Amino acid sequence: DDEDELEDDDDDDDEDFGGKKIGKKKAAKLEAKEEKRNMREAMEEEKQKRKEREEQREAERAEAEAARKREREEKEEAERKAQEEIKKKEEEEFDKWKDLFETGEDGAQADDDLQESQGMLQEFIDYLKDNKITPLDEVAAKFGLKAQEVLNRVEGLESMGRVTGLMDDRGKFIYISMDEMKGVAKWINNQGRVSVEDLVSESARLVDMQPREKAPVIDFGDEDAVEAA
Q: What is the mean pLDDT of residues 185-197?
A: 76
**∠ Cα 134 207 189 (to 5°):** 130
Q: What is the mean pLDDT of residues 136-144?
A: 89
Which residues is 14 bridged to in the sheet?
Answer: 23
Q: What is the mean pLDDT of residues 204-220?
A: 55
pLDDT at res. 33:
87
| Inter-CA distances, 186 with 132, 162, 189, 209, Å | 22, 22, 5, 19
Q: How far apart are CA 63 and CA 89, in angstroms?
A: 38
Strands of the sheet with 133-135, listed across from one edge: 133-135, 172-175, 165-167
* Residue with more model confidence, 78 or 20: 78
pLDDT at res. 229:
41
pLDDT in tens, 29-62: 888 888 888 999 999 999 999 999 999 999 999 9
Q: How far apart are CA 10 and CA 54, in angstroms?
A: 52
Mean pLDDT of the chain: 74
pLDDT at res. 157:
86
Sign of torsion, CA 210 212 218 219?
Answer: negative
CATH hierarchy code of domain 95-101+108-175: 1.10.10.10
- In this predicted structure, the answer to whether residue 5 has a pLDDT above a threshold of 60 is no
The answer to pTM > 0.75 is no
Share of the chain above pLDDT 70, in %: 62
Phi, psi for 109 (deg, rounded to 5): -85, 145
pLDDT band at 118; cut points 50, 70, 90: low
